[in-house]
């Protein structure tokens, strides 16, 4: 199956990015044809410092490779290095109802807060549709928060196919049961824009401090607690084996424990879980030429795939094909 997904280089990737999306890229890469990219064009709607964007983009590539994305199995590239996608974005925009975009949450939320939104943010879902459709993607592994965007993609593709004839493959989203919506340190969805993230990489001591600051309820220690609705328990669940999860759940139900104990368990489990990736990342950092080479090769392969779809779309809607 053709799988595709992207991650924005807007800052350091966090547990939500990994357990919602990146882990799926890696699980899917053995038996599928994967296209995974760093969405720098999307990030440009929020990162307005050139150096930061450049640095974040390379860091995102390092992160993905360190976490196990294998360039021999999947294509890893930077979004802006495939200009075909931006061209397809324009074509799709001409058939996108304004009302559809007005209902999309990124734009709606910003407007609701009284913040000035730009056309880039408004059209964000159309660029995402172009990303997905440009590669004839069948499956899009993501977290819950991207589902609406994939619905928009399906709508736009269906409308185009209906009007101009069979052109685009209609993609499906895939989310995981545990991981579709990883909570942050405050119990809300973990998100770079809420300042509640736990990073995948970075100084262990600092991350441990952040873990110790995860909010908890103030019920007495003796009280029995239901584990399911508790975000600290949900975070523990991401890293632990079933047996440890059952033990922890039993401890919650018995009561008489301190949240500090659970936090310590989360810290230890997460450190062990990411230890190999952390080491691989350090190795890659001293081999940036290799990383650039991977991205160059990825962009070449991605462009080849996107050019086919773009030329099909241009032909079907009556545009002159590329010379």
Q: Binding site membership for L-tryptophan: which residues? A: 131
- Contact set for ligand TYM, span 228-267 (CB under 6 A): none
For residue 86, count other CB atoms closer than 10 A to its CB.
14
Q: What is the largest CA-CA distance in the chain?
A: 75
Q: How far is the CB of 8 from ligand TYM (least distance, A)?
A: 3
Please indicate whether residue 110 is annotated as part of the active site: yes
* Least distance CB 39 / ligand TYM (angstroms): 4
Residue in this structure with the two tokens 């030429």, named with its chain if needed: 289
Q: Residues 6 or more apart from 261 whose CB is under 8 A from it?
A: none
Q: Which helix (DSSP H) or strand (DSSP E) does residue 116 occupy?
A: none
Supply the minimum distance, in Å, between the C-beta of residue 252 and ligand TYM: 22
Between 157 and 196, how does the x/- string for binding to ligand TYM read (CB under 6 A)? ----------------------xxxx------xxx-----
Active site residue 189: yes
CB 147, CB 106: distance < 8 Å: no
Q: Which residues are annotated as a binding site?
A: 8-10, 16-17, 131, 143-145, 182, 189-193
Assess 139 for contact with ligand TYM (CB under 6 A): no
Assess whether 205 carries a catalytic annotation: no
- Name the token pair of 12: 């350091």
Stretch 9-48: interaction string toward ligand TYM, x if CB under 6 A: -------xx--xx-----------------x--x------
Helix extents (H) in 83-188: 83-93, 98-102, 105-112, 119-122, 124-133, 147-164
Return d(Cα 267, Cα 238) in angstroms, integer: 12
Total of chain residues touching ligand TYM, rule CB under 6 A: 25
Residues annotated in the binding site for ATP, as ranges? Answer: 8-10, 16-17, 143-145, 182, 189-193
Give catalytic residue positions: 110, 189, 192
């Amino acid at each position: 199956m053709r799988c595709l997904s992207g991650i924005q280089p807007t800052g350091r990737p966090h547990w939500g990015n990994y357990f919602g999306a990146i882990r799926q890229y890696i699980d899917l890469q053995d038996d599928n044809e994967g296209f995974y990219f760093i969405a720098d064009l999307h990030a440009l709607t929020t990162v307005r410092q050139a150096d930061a964007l450049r640095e974040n983009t390379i860091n995102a590539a390092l992160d993905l490779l360190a976490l196990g994305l294998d360039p021999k199995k999947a294509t890893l590239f930077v979004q802006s290095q495939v200009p075909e996608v931006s061209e397809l974005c324009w074509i799709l925009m001409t058939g996108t109802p304004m009302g559809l975009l007005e209902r999309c949450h990124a734009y709606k939320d910003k407007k609701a807060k009284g913040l000035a939104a730009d056309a880039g943010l408004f059209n964000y879902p159309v660029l995402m549709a172009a990303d997905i459709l440009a590669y004839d993607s069948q499956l899009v592994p993501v977290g819950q928060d991207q589902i609406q965007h994939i619905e928009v993609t399906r709508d736009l593709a269906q409308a185009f196919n209906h009007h101009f004839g069979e052109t685009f493959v209609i993609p499906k989203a895939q989310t995981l049961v545990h991981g579709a919506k990883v909570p942050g340190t405050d119990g809300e969805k973990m998100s770079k824009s809420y300042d509640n993230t736990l990073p995948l990489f970075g100084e262990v001591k600092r991350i441990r401090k952040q873990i110790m600051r995860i909010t908890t309820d103030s019920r007495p220690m003796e009280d029995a607690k239901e584990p399911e609705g508790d975000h600290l328990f949900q975070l523990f669940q991401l890293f632990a084996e079933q047996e440890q999860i059952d033990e922890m759940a039993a401890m919650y139900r018995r009561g008489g424990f301190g949240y500090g104990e659970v936090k310590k368990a989360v810290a230890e489990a997460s450190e062990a879980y990411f230890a190999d990736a952390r080491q691989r990342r350090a190795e890659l950092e001293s081999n940036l030429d290799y990383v650039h080479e991977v991205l160059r090769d990825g962009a070449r392969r991605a462009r080849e795939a996107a050019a086919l779809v773009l030329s099909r779309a241009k032909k079907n809607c009556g545009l002159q094909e590329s010379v």
